[in-house]
Chain A
Amino acid sequence: MGKATIDFDPFNLIITGVGGQGNVMASRVVGNMIIEKGFHVTIGETFGASQRGGSVMSHLRISTDSGFSPQIPKGRAHMVIALEPTEALRVLKDYGNPSVYVLCNMRPIQFVAVICGDQPYPALDTIIQSIRELSKQAWFLNTTDAALKLGNPILGNIMIVGALVATGLLPLDRDSFKAAIGRVVSPEKAKVNLAAFEQGLTMLRT
């Protein structure tokens, strides 16, 4: 196996979602997978108060060097992974550019403003169209529903990591996932996470 390479240095990856969707966990797993491949990664995260139903974001700076800021400069994301569709648009507004790739879970998490009837949840077709127009390439999938079948909707976060591997945009594979998940969760939990990962891999390929 030759030395893995990345297309940009740093490669700026944003993982976004709503507090409680397993955003931090997904960024830890991807970060550890990257480390397995011999790269450095800096991860900037928002958690704490924002766990309570707020928008959350993890910034991953993947590089051969270790000194990058835990915040990506505006307009400079290479890829956005969204665990929730409206969060993709929110992130593109600040960090997107015409060359950005988007990988998006389409299961909405309602806003308080939508729940109380003040505002409608934006139409999913409109969101898809906007994301397509605002990206170089975009993939849409429903990991939450698939994860629910595995027994826990939160596994959607690991499923989307599988889908990320399938895009081929980063030098990641099944082995790096196995090593990384072993660092992040207990062996019993690793099993169902691996199942979610495998499903994510095939979801994008089929």
Chain B
Amino acid sequence: MNTLRSRSEHTPRLVMGNEAIARGALEAGVSVATGYPGTPSSEIIENLARVSAGRDVYVEWGVNEKVAMEVAAAASFAGLRSLCVMKQNGVNVASDFLLHLASSGTRGGMVLVSCEDPGALSSANEGDSRHFSRLLEVPLLEPGSFQEAKDITKWAFDLSEEIRNVIMVRSVTRLSHASGSVVYGEMPETKPHAFFSHDGDILDPMRGPVISGPVEYKHKKQQEKLQKAIAFFEESPFNTYTGPDTPELLCVTSSAAGFYCKEALRLLGVEGRVGLLKLGTTWPLPPRLMEKYLRLTDKILIVEEVIPFLEENVKIMAAELSPKIGAKVLHGKRDGFIPSAGELNPDIVIAAVAKTLGMTYGSPAATYTQRATQAAACVPVRDLAFCPGCPHRASFWSIHNVLRMDARQGFVCGDIGCYSLGISPTGFGTLKTLHAMGSGTGLASGFGSLGRFGMDQPALAVTGDSTFFHAVLPALVNAIHNKSEITLVVLDNSGTAMTGFQPHPGLPVDAAGKELIALDIVRICEAMGATVRICNPFYLKETERILLELLEKRGGVKVIVLKKTCALSPERKGKKDFNMFVNPAVCLGDDCGCNRLCTRIFKCPGLIWNREKTVAEIDDIICVGCGVCASICPSGAIQRKEIT
């Protein structure tokens, strides 16, 4: 149940970090919110979409992060408050526009929220977008609690209007996807009216044209804005110090790492010896505040996730302040006190603080852990797998088989989405490259131009339907225009499945379910000049036949759209097409020449290999009745009965 419409109240409620960020934007009177789905950011736009109908808020899933940022910026230029939300990789996509925006400045308060994924729990890399704030020369705020996630987001809009520039707010998985206590504030009554003033002088930031030039003049203005931000940061309630007046050690931290520091100091029992400076305004650092706290002690430990961003900035500040505060010893990632890759947790911070203080910290249950580790040795790792009934398993089955039949050592360039799992056993190891959104088609375009150097291997690319619009289109244009020889497989499951089934330009609905114009992938590809086929990937034979035909067809770009809705979609979830069963009299088990094709190779989680009886079985709890495994069983033992 969505709580975002609620009035202000005094008692805290249990709120997910992303919901708190959405609420902060609503309390700031946001009028336009845009974004592109990406874990762990997606719930912010989803939550705003749910309340948009009852309020004057326009919510839009952008085709990609750069366009989403441009749409949000237009609202700002027209005097409205706007929000743009993405995961860390999205900031890379948006950065070209951002660099110009930071120079042209904004009008209505504009906030960029980047939700990042230290440890890459749901990402293809551990990117850290904080360095963009330094590159773009815009202020960076990092909430360190659920309450701050709301309060900082709200304040970021005020700050943006004070300095007339975009503000970056950075969250992480352990805040965005965690839940905690938040007290809601007032919701303003907004009467937004959009008007873009453009007739003023070119140097008039509020009435003139919005451009990034004259460059040197605007760059200087931009730096004055940062100085203004620093003045606010010096007094900000989001920077807090807890600890003694003269600590032995000062921990400087931000974001979710602040939780781990607090826990580490408590468990080590050193709260009276160690000071904790938790910063919410992390770039540019406020020098007077830093002087006040760096002065307290000579030994400093900087605790943060991913790159040593805070560490480097604190070190610069310590060097600049050294005539006043003396030389400091600063520990962090650069000297290995904090690991330089992976997510932090309380235990890592406990170890770092203990090392800095020269203490030893024994695990509370060392001998127990030994016994428990032995007991758990029989428990295999749970490899990620395509869901039961997932169209991608069927698609990769066919692609894999066809490439083997073709026998020219063809390969598939992968892309970002659930189907990235095509690189692992669940996708039969079919993908051979995996990079950024759209890179599969770009790489295939490159491979497909290498025929002149004797390359005879068929180059394929896969893309999801959302990724097709996000970044594949320019790569496809490139391949067609340059006569590259490739086959693009569009795995169209009717939604942005990986991140929770958000709509995209190929679907006729918006974030709130209201009607929009759907763009037809097949017709787009045809209009571009590609040879296009369409098939339901659950029809394995037909899919393989078309794929083989396309691989053998020489010249130009071929596209096959494998269209079947995601098994987790509202349309298919909980609905079986077939009742599946194995006829034990027909299943020959180990004696069948198939070498357990169903469980050993296809390995859908809905199948079980009964080791005692040496036959395949169906796990009725897991099976969703897609019927595909019946098509791969050579003896016809796996059978399906249509549900009428």
Task: List residues of chain A with CB under 8 Å of any chain B CB.
Answer: 18, 20, 28, 31-32, 35, 40-50, 52-55, 66-76, 86, 89-90, 92-94, 96-98, 107, 109-117, 119-120, 122, 126, 130, 133-134, 144, 148, 152-153, 182-186
Question: Are B375's CB and A92's CB within 8 A?
Answer: yes
> What residues of A have a CB within 8 angstroms of the CB of B345 in the complex?
69, 71, 73
- Kindly identify which residue among B121, B146, B259, B368 contacts A49, using a CB–CB cutoff of 8 Å: B121
Question: Are B263's CB and A130's CB within 8 A?
Answer: no
Chain B 574-618, CB within 8 Å of chain A: the 1/0 string? Answer: 100000000000000000000010011101110111010000000
Total A-B residue pairs with C-beta atoms closer than 8 Å?
204
Question: Are B387's CB and A52's CB within 8 A?
Answer: yes
Q: Interface centre among B122, B346, B365, by most A CB within 10 Å?
A: B365
Interface-lining segment among B173-181, B457-465, B541-549: B173-181
Which residues of chain B from 412 to 442 have a CB within 8 Å of any chain A CB?
418, 421, 425-426
Nearest CB to that of B596 among chain A residues? A117
Q: With A and B bound together, what is the CA distance between A47 and B345 in angstroms?
A: 17
Whole-angstrom distance from the CB of A77 to the nearest CB of chain B? 10
Question: Are A116's CB and B379's CB within 8 A?
Answer: no
Asked if B372 lies at the interface with its beta carbon under 8 angstroms from chain A, I say yes
Q: With A and B bound together, what is the CA distance between A44 and B174 in angstroms?
A: 6
Task: Return 7 A-B CB contacts under 8 Å, by A number.
Answer: A48-B177, A66-B147, A69-B260, A69-B346, A75-B369, A126-B378, A183-B3
Task: List residues of chain B with CB under 8 Å of any chain A CB.
Answer: 1, 3, 12-14, 39-40, 121-122, 145-147, 174-175, 177-181, 256, 259-260, 262-263, 267, 345-347, 350, 363-365, 368-369, 371-373, 375-376, 378-387, 418, 421, 425-426, 498-499, 574, 596, 599-601, 603-605, 607-609, 611, 619, 621-622
Question: Are A134's CB and B600's CB within 8 A?
Answer: no
Question: Are B372's CB and A40's CB within 8 A?
Answer: no
> What residues of A have a CB within 8 angstroms of the CB of B609 in the complex?
114-117
Question: Are A96's CB and B368's CB within 8 A?
Answer: yes
Question: Are A67's CB and B262's CB within 8 A?
Answer: yes
- Kindly identify which residue among B13, B376, B385 contacts A92, using a CB–CB cutoff of 8 Å: B376
Nearest CB to that of A107 among chain B residues? B621
> What residues of B have a CB within 8 angstroms of the CB of A49 in the complex?
39, 121-122, 384, 498
Whole-angstrom distance from the CB of A2 to the nearest CB of chain B? 20
> What residues of A have a CB within 8 angstroms of the CB of B383 in the complex?
53-54, 111-113
Whole-angstrom distance from the CB of A29 to the nearest CB of chain B? 10
| Known A71-B260, A75-B365: A112·B605 in contact at CB below 8 Å | yes
Question: Are A93's CB and B622's CB within 8 A?
Answer: no
Q: With A and B bound together, what is the CA distance between A53 and B364 in angstroms?
A: 31
Question: Are A68's CB and B259's CB within 8 A?
Answer: yes
> What residues of B have a CB within 8 angstroms of the CB of A44 in the complex?
174, 178
Whole-angstrom distance from the CB of A120 to the nearest CB of chain B? 6
- Kindly identify which residue among B121, B364, B384, B608 contacts A97, using a CB–CB cutoff of 8 Å: B364
Question: Are B365's CB and A45's CB within 8 A?
Answer: no
Question: Are A183's CB and B1's CB within 8 A?
Answer: yes
> What residues of B have a CB within 8 angstroms of the CB of A90 in the complex?
376, 379
> What residues of B have a CB within 8 angstroms of the CB of A50 in the complex?
121-122, 384
Question: Are B385's CB and A112's CB within 8 A?
Answer: yes
Q: With A and B bound together, what is the CA distance between A86 and B386 in angstroms?
A: 20
Name the 3 nearest CB pairs between A and B, nearest first: A48-B122, A69-B259, A70-B178
Q: With A and B bound together, what is the CA distance between A67 and B240 in angstroms?
A: 14
Q: With A and B bound together, what is the CA distance between A126 and B364 in angstroms?
A: 26
